Structure 1
Amino acid sequence: MSPLENEKINGVSFVASREFVKDAHIAPIVNIHANYAAVMPFGFVQELQDPKVVYNKNRQWFGETRVGAKQYIEALQKKNIKIMMKPQIWVRKGEFTGYIKMKNEADWKLLEESYATFILDYAALAEETKAEILCIGTELEQFVVNRPDFWKQLIVEIRKVYKGKLTYAANWDEFKRTPFWSDLDFIGMDAYFPISEEKTPTIEACIEGWKPHVATIKSFSETYKKPILFTEFGYRSVDYSGKEPWRSDRSMTSVNLEAQTNTTKALLQTFWKEDWFAGGFIWKWFHNHQEVGGETNNRFTPQNKPVEKVIKEVYKAF
């Protein structure tokens, strides 16, 4: 059923940095038995009502630009890591991309032109570098819901440029309303589903918490006859990590490595064995492995935390 026969996508979301990527930066990815990396160049909008996507500018970090994305892809491919190209939008001050919404028709048209230029440029790069997957957007619900015809036509235009597999990264509470799954190769989800109210959830409680979501997710796969891809998945190493897994704000200051480990174990145990499930990309993985994560870090990265070993074991098994 998966377009990539029998091979699970054991992915990392490879964060763009200021630097060129070297073999030493990629060795830790190989070490956890990952076979895919999401490369994530960025475009920027000034505010939620601004129709202009700005990208490839001098002020951006190297890895966020087209040149940087190409260098990252080639360095990863040298180590036999396959690629999902995942261009993303950043709204100034970190506002949620799902709320990007124009006030009038003229602005909608400008946004459509600007976004199409941005994504088609990266579609061309994905084709040039023979990236296996292209993600055509990430968590853009209001844009998608308000302009479905634009997105349908955009997919047609992308397929003229790029011959690989396509997905879209719908937020966990958005995918039911995404209107173009039948036009793509994977149903993509950023899998931040709430699964437990506990401070330190047990694996069993998390598996139980997944059950209603799994039923819905599986039914989508069956309806559209497409495999499910977790375009992002992961948990912070904080108290209540399974309650609102999408929260990245700085107000959560506790460190709870066990909560991160248990929530992640439950997700991997629930999904990786299913034949309708294609795999996923852990959020998130930094190039400078020795300097990030660790046992005092409460962010998403699994690096240098107990959960890294859990991911390694499952990625090795699949």
Structure 2
Amino acid sequence: MKRFIIIGLMVLLSSCDIASVANKKINGVSFVASRDSINNTHVTPVINLQANYVAIMPFGFIRNLEHPRITYNSNRQWFGETKEGVQQYVKAFKTQRIRVMIKPQIWVSRGEFTGKIKMNTEDAWTELEETYSGFILDFAKVAEETQTGLFCIGTELETFIDHRPEFWSELISRIRKVYSGKLTYAANWNEYNRTPFWNQLDFIGIDSYFPVSNLKTPSVESCKQGWESYKPQLKIFSENLKKPVLFTEFGYRSVDYAGNQPWESDRRMNAVNLEAQLNATQALFETFWNENWFAGGFIWKWHHKHDSSGGEENFMFTPQNKPVEVLVEDWYTRY
């Protein structure tokens, strides 16, 4: 841990020329559901990170990309993915003054990309709309009952949206009738600029896996240069819609080429590179956290058993027990 503290101090000194505070941000973590309930043992590490928000993510499951029926709130699921589990998680965090976004997500069998969900018949599309509405509206009601301040209506569903835009507009209207908080949608990084319903929502939500560097160990500067291809368009998009951008997911794996295809979760990419994760994450903070049109974000992802999560040998996304955790705490403390 001493090594992490030293690296963290180096990061802090290297970024001291950035203004300490622009405005209050959503400094969030994407909190992974578990088979168990949670308590202060699991909440305290989130507090120590200086996070002020968590995304709680109940899952619905479909058999394949052409299957229209979503299964959710099942006794075969982990507790944290169910309605009862979400209610318990929200209470545990709100008791400790951590705000919550409920972010229902779909898992396709074998981990296929949700953005490619596409039905082959009109009847199948109608059934998908019915089952998705049930899934989302049930958790929107949970969000209202628990007085959760932010609700995400979907995650990376671009083909579904492209083919059924009227359904989505109507679904948002139905959500507004049962939920009184703020709404967003988690668009994939290459999807947000054609999502048709931002004017009905409160935040432009983006899962921010933009490719920013093709270097094995990208420097902070190379990643910041990579962001120059995207940041101006994001700013203009936000200003034109008069809505802030929220990174509904952000983060990098601790692997070689972390900034090249940041969405990639293939476990065959297993060459641990803590510096690549650290530099890419620092560049993201330096690029966005001081911008008034930027609302903040939720780092991907955070496991409930902090002491046994992540670590120096871990090559996945979590910042836990890695040098990047010190970096995130530093930036969350400032905002």
- What are the superposed Cα offsets for residues 8-32 of structure 1, whole Å, 9 maximum, x if unpaired? 0000000000011010101000001
Match of 1:315 in 2: 332
- What are the superposed Cα offsets for residues 163-208 of structure 1, whole Å, 9 maximum, x if unpaired? 0000000000111110101110000000000000100000011111
Please give the secondary structure, in 1, of the residue aligned with 2:229: helix
Match of 1:7 in 2: 24
Counterpart AA for 1:89: I
Counterpart AA for 2:259: G
Match of 1:108 in 2: 125
- What are the superposed Cα offsets for residues 181-238 of structure 1, whole Å, 9 maximum, x if unpaired? 1110000000000000100000011111101110111111011110000000000000
| Structure 1 residues 108-257: aligned runs within 5 Å | 108-257=125-274
Aligned residues: 314
Cα distance between partner residues in 1 of 2:232 and 2:120: 37
44, 54, 57: which one pairs with 1:40? 57
Cα distance between partner residues in 1 of 2:225 and 2:317: 22
Indicate yes or no: 2:58 matched with 1:57.
no
Counterpart AA for 1:294: G
Over the matched positions of the two proteins, sequence identity in percent amounts to 60
Q: Retained in 1: the 8 A contact 2:28–2:297?
A: yes
Structure 1 residue ranges (4+ consecutive) displaced by more than 3 angstroms after TM superposition: none
- What are the superposed Cα offsets for residues 118-162 of structure 1, whole Å, 9 maximum, x if unpaired? 000000000011111000000000001100000000000000000
| Structure 1 residues 25-104: aligned runs within 5 Å | 25-104=42-121
Cα distance between partner residues in 1 of 2:58 and 2:89: 10
Please give the secondary structure, in 2, of the residue aligned with 1:241: coil
Cα distance between partner residues in 2 of 1:93 and 1:212: 33
Cα distance between partner residues in 1 of 2:83 and 2:305: 21
Match of 1:284 in 2: 301
Q: CA deviation at 1:7?
A: 2.3
* TM-score, length of structure 1 as denominator length: 0.98
Cα distance between partner residues in 2 of 1:123 and 1:253: 38
Unaligned runs of 5+ in 1: none
* TM-score, length of structure 2 as denominator length: 0.93
Please give the secondary structure, in 2, of the residue aligned with 1:212: coil
Cα distance between partner residues in 2 of 1:26 and 1:267: 25
Q: CA deviation at 1:250?
A: 1.0
Match of 1:295 in 2: 312
Match of 2:285 in 1: 268
Cα distance between partner residues in 2 of 1:63 and 1:216: 37
Q: Retained in 1: the 8 A contact 2:23–2:290?
A: no
Q: CA deviation at 1:6?
A: 4.1
